[in-house]
Amino acid sequence: MSEAINEKIKNYSTAPFDARFPNTNQTRNCYQNYLDFHRCNKVLSAKDHDVTACEWYKRVYKSLCPIGWVDKWDEQVENGSFPGKI
């Protein structure tokens, strides 16, 4: 299971088409992957599992989200003021 994910991460070129977000507005695509990365980290590290699988979400949000947005959210997560549920 994790080999498949690692293979996908290794062959990553850019964020693939996500059928959950088929339309022009990709704001939610970026935000959802950012949330999923942090949630994945939180859940897997709470159970002491390997967090490398979460790397996929990180690659996708890094591809999609403007750097400014990511920096702002990272700061909020550090401060504890991030509005999303992680």
Min. distance of Cβ 70 from another protein in angstroms? Answer: 9
5 in Cβ contact with 56 (< 8 Å): yes
Distance, CA of 38 to chain centre: 7
Sole binder of another protein in the list 35, 40, 54, 64 (CB under 8 A): 64
Min. distance of Cβ 3 from another protein in angstroms? Answer: 22
Min. distance of Cβ 64 from another protein in angstroms? Answer: 6
Sole binder of another protein in the list 11, 14, 79, 81 (CB under 8 A): 14
Q: Which structure tokens are listed for 30?
A: 């970026």
DSSP code of 16?
P
Sole binder of another protein in the list 3, 4, 20, 25 (CB under 8 A): 25
Rounded (5°) CA angle 35-37-41: 115
53 in Cβ contact with 5 (< 8 Å): yes
Query: Which residue ranges make up the site for another protein (CB under 8 A)?
Result: 12-17, 22, 24-27, 29-30, 59, 62-68
